[in-house]
Amino acid sequence: MNVAAELPVTDPTVQDLVSSALSKFRAGDTISTRAMLDAIRQTDPACEDSDDRLVELIVMAAVGKTMGVVFDHRSPDERLPRLF
């Protein structure tokens, strides 16, 4: 029985942006989500994908290349616990 996982269809251009940004690193390197988002936004300021979507693509690609990921893309205000 063949069971194929359904993956969301993604604009290949966005995947190309992520691949291009990751191409500057090697297996075993640790990458910063903030630095990767900045690089992608700088390369294509018109990219309409959300940071969360881009981080998802970055993580999938980085893990596939055996890279570590530091999740530092949230602003300090977003990291504070919500008290109310």
**Spans of all domains in the chain:** 12-70
Q: For the stretch 47-83, what's the b/e string if a residue is b when 16 or more beta carbons lie within 10 angstroms of its beta carbon? A: bebeeeebbebbbebbeeeebebeeebeeeeeeeeee
Q: For residues 78 and 13, what is the distance between their CA atoms, to the nearest angstrom?
A: 29
Cα-to-chain-centroid distance, residue 12? 14
Q: Is residue 19 scored above 80 in pLDDT?
A: yes
Q: For residues 72 and 59, what is the distance between their CA atoms, to the nearest angstrom?
A: 13
Give me the mean pLDDT over the 34-50 stretch: 94
Q: What is the pLDDT of residue 63?
A: 94
Answering whether pTM is above 0.85, one says no
